[in-house]
Each structure stands twice: as C-alpha cells, then as structure tokens.
Structure 1
Amino acid sequence: MSSPAPTPAPESSPDRPAGTTTQRRRIPGVAWAVIAVIVGLLALVLAAQFLEGDDALADTAVETTDSGETAATPEGTTSDAEDGAAATAAEGPREGELPIVRRDADDPMAIGSVDAPVVLVEWIDYRCPFCAVYSTEILPTIEDEYVASGQVRIEINDVSFFGDESEDAAVAARAAGEQGKYLEYMTVVFDNAPSSGHPDMPAEKLIAFAEDAGVPDIEQFTADLDREDLHAAVQESTATAQQLGVSAVPFFAIGTESISGAQPVDVFRQFIDARLPEAS
C-alpha cells in the first residue's frame, strides 16, 4: 500500500540570523566597524557550514503549519557531523555522523545494534498523520530488512510541532520508556492514529495507550505525565530539531544526507543502500 502523497507547497524554514551593515562616512573608528562585520560574517559562514542552510533538511516533507495542513518541501541535506574525535568512544557519533547520534546501548528511543554501521536518525511528532503512516507501513520493513541483520540502527527524536498535546504525547512515550515500553507505546499510538488530521491527546487517552502497550505500573506512568524533566526533554529535542533546520515531519537523516515524508519503502531502501558501503 503506497503512502499518501502530500500536496506541494512553498517551502518554510526557520529564520536564519542575518547581519546588516550601514556605510558611514568620515566617522573615526570605521576600520574597527569593518573588522567587526568581517568577524560576524565569518561566524555566519561557520554556522552555515554546520547547518547547510535553513532549507537543507527537507525533502517532500510533511510541513508543520498552524492550520494543520500538510505540504511538500524540496530536497536538502543535513549538516556535516563534528570531527571524528568521538569515533573511538563506546557511545556518541562516529566520524561522518550527525552530532546528535547517540549510540547508547541503554537508549529506550532506539531500535537495533549500537554497533550498526548505519544510524538512521528520525524525527516524529505523535500527532502527525504521516508519521503514523511511516510507523505502520514502512518502519516494519526497515526493521525486517536492515535492523534485524545488524546493518542499521534507528534513533528516534520526538518533537512537538503540533502544540501542547504533541508534547504531552511525547512525554507519555518517554514515561513508558522509563518502564521499558517506549517502542511498544509508539506502536500503539500510531496504530490508533486517524488517517488524516492531528488527533487529540487528552490524559485519559495517553493512559489507555499505556495499558494497551503493557506499561507495568500505570500509577507511576500517570504521575510521570506531569514530570517537568520529561517535558523539558521534549522541548529541548524540539528546539534542537529546529536549530538543525527540521521544520517538517517525519524527517530522516543518515550522515549528511536526508529524506522526509512517508515515502514509498523503495525510496528508503535506496536511501539506506546507497550509504551502507560508505559506512562499512
């Protein structure tokens, strides 16, 4: 079954910082002003090399808009990872990987071997209908064909692009994860998602999802829904995504390349296969 095709629309990206200068005549100290401008421009160039532009992380993505509409955005690439200083560490990104790659063996928000040559980083919003399509129709194939064989590890990053209830749902998934049921909770949420629109996520629904996912201590789970540290973690994850230029979900990156949207599974196969030789 092929995934829904989003309707093309103009691209939208987070605003980039930009500096402007005003020429002045016969003002003492103008040389210092020029130097300051040059330094500022150099800083922007370095930042641009990391982020590769505000629109670098988009490819037929599901655009997040206040109206809840979806739209497609053009192709782009993610930034280069930091140098390979962490490549020899047991955890953290390896050379050529995004700095946010975790490679933590105890990470509840990850699927697959910590030593897999390829890490597929994904961003999801629990109220995003196309994230549900990806989770239910595409992810199982990736797990069967790549994760089970140890070739690919998937690391999940949650965002709250669709409001407070997106944050509440992400907190609920993290609370389930603290009881060893993050992936089970994610599966239940997306299995129950409507075919379109952004579902409401009241507390009673989040608790019912936990029961269906087999979270053992529902009382503790319910209390954790109000934990400030879990809410702060989701907010930080959302801010990091926006800083990287991710403005639409679902979004995926391997190294410095990216795709997004609920693409057909063959698109994901091509995306992964092209990067396996580089990582091996």
Structure 2
Amino acid sequence: MPGTPTPSASSRAGRPRPGHTRRVLAVIVLTAAVVTAVLSLTLGRGTPTGGTTAPATVSEPEAQKPANPELLALARRDTSDPLALGSPDAPVVLIEYSDFQCPFCGRFARETKPALVRDYVDKGILRIEWRNFPVFGAESDQAARAGWAAGQQDRFWQFHDEAYSEPRRRNAGDFGEDELLAMARKAGVEDLARFEKDMASDAAHQAVTRDSDEGYRIGVTSTPAFLINGRPVLGAQPTDVFTDVIDEAAEQARQQEDGDE
C-alpha cells in the first residue's frame, strides 16, 4: 500500500539490517515437486549470522492473484487443534508462522491480533492457525514446546498472550524453564506438573518439528510469516494490510460459494 509504513520481520539472520524503505514481496515462486509445492517467501538477502531483515509487503497485483490450491491445503481446520482460534468452517484461514522470541511477532500479537479476533474471528469470518517456527535457538524451541504443552490443557492462547504481553529479551533467560512455568501459571494452566512433563515430551518435540518442517518446506525464512487463504503476508504489517487481504479473501470465498450453488 503506497505511503503505508512497514515494520521489520525477524529471521534467522542475527544482526539488524538497515532500511525502513517499503519493499515489495519480490519473489513468490511455486515449484511443482512430486508431492508438494514450494513457496519462496523472500524478505531480502539475509545475513549468515542471524537477526532482522527489512520487510516485504503484499503488492496490489499480488493481492489480486487467485489463491494457490497447494497453499490453501495447508489449512488444517482440525476441530480439536488447541493452537487454532475460530471456527473450522470460517471462509478465511490465516496461518501464522511465529517464534515467541521474535519481537515483531510480539508486535503483531499485541497490536493486530486483538482487532482481527474482534472484527473477524468472533464473527465467524476468520480462523487463525498457529505454527511454531522457532528460529532463535534453544529458548525459542523451549518456548514453542511450552506453548504446545499449555495447549494440551486448552490454554495455548492464554499462554500466547502472556508470552507476548511485553517485549522480552532474546536468549537471556526470559524463556527459561522457571519463566515459562510462571507464564503458564498466569495463563491459567491448572496442572503445572503435567505442563512440565508435556513440555519435555517427545510429542511436544514432534509437534514443533512438524510445524517448522512445514514452514521450511514452503520457503518461510523469517518470522512472522502469514498465509491468508494461500496468500503470503510477511512481517508485522499494519493492521489494515491484514484486513484488506482478509476482506478480499472473504469476498472471493463468498463469490465461489455463490457460483457453486
């Protein structure tokens, strides 16, 4: 959107990269493979040591392209998924690949997610499906497993909101075991002994790995990264970027449903 400021996204590259200039989502490459398609979501050239990159945005022409069926199929719509928010039958699904240590993921959680829940999720238009995509090391992985463990007691989103309730230091102990236990307690997780056991379990590791593998397979390299009915939105963009894409996706879903009748 011309004239709209765009925030940065976090990636595996570790030092901040310059530039507040608006960038366009430069590459969306869909390559046919034997079983799966690969989407290359490019935020610019990352550095080899880990940190932030300048943002990419959804250009107007890109937003008008039909959603790719391979990417649409990533929406699980599992009614028993505790890491999902909203009706499984919602016409629009936003898939979020995030890291609890990512400052821009926190920005999305605090500034944009509440508006999306109020205006779309609560009205049955949008479903949000979380994918753990830990890219900043051991504490990121531990936090991801803690979120999954909270979800086993139906408190994932409460844990999510607590973890992102304020900016936290990266790899400085803010996501240590004691700190995660305190977050779980504040999030209303009742059985903390079970929480700790679940957090350390193979099932938690496998769930986080499944999400990460899915992201890497389609070319996600930075957090936060989103798919909205198969269309990529990269970085903690202003809220109106998300609402524009959601509105368009909902309208296209409605037209398709009318055409099928």
TM-score (norm 1): 0.72
Query: Residues 1-280 of structure 1: matches in 2 within 5 Å?
Result: 5-6=7-8, 7-8=18-19, 46-47=32-33, 51=37, 53-54=39-40, 57-58=41-42, 67-75=49-57, 80-82=68-70, 98-194=72-168, 197=170, 200=173, 201-280=175-254
Residue 8 of structure 1: how far off its partner (Å): 4.0
**Distance change in 2, residues 1:189/1:64 (3 Å):** farther
Distance 2:31 2:129 in 1: 29
Aligned-residue CA RMSD (Å): 3.2
Residue 59 of structure 1: how far off its partner (Å): 5.5
**Distance change in 2, residues 1:69/1:227 (3 Å):** same
Residue 220 of structure 1: how far off its partner (Å): 1.1
**Distance change in 2, residues 1:155/1:45 (3 Å):** closer
Please list every run of 5 or more consecutive structure 1 residues that lacks an aligned counterpart in the other structure: 17-43, 83-96
Between Structure 1 and Structure 2, the one with more strand by share is 2
Share of identical aligned residues, percent? 33
Distance 1:272 1:45 in 2: 25
CA contact (8 A) 1:171 1:230 kept: yes
CA contact (8 A) 1:193 1:199 kept: no
Please list every run of 5 or more consecutive structure 2 residues that lacks an aligned counterpart in the other structure: 9-17, 255-261
**Distance change in 2, residues 1:45/1:269 (3 Å):** closer
* Per-residue CA distance 1:212-251 (angstroms, 9 max, x = gap): 0010001111122210121122122112101110001111
- Count of matched residue positions in the alignment of Structure 1 and Structure 2: 230
Distance 1:66 1:164 in 2: 18
Partner SS state of residue 275, structure 1: helix
* Per-residue CA distance 1:145-195 (angstroms, 9 max, x = gap): 11111111111111111112111101101101101101000000000333x
TM-score (norm 2): 0.77
Residue 4 of structure 1: how far off its partner (Å): 7.5
Greater Rg by CA: 1
Distance 1:79 1:172 in 2: 33
CA contact (8 A) 1:175 1:221 kept: yes
Query: Structure 2: which amino acid aligns with 1:257?
Result: R
Distance 1:151 1:80 in 2: 20
* Per-residue CA distance 1:6-29 (angstroms, 9 max, x = gap): 344999xxxx9xxxxxxxxxxxxx
**Distance change in 2, residues 1:75/1:111 (3 Å):** same
* Per-residue CA distance 1:91-117 (angstroms, 9 max, x = gap): xxxxxx522211111110111111111
Distance 2:218 2:54 in 1: 18
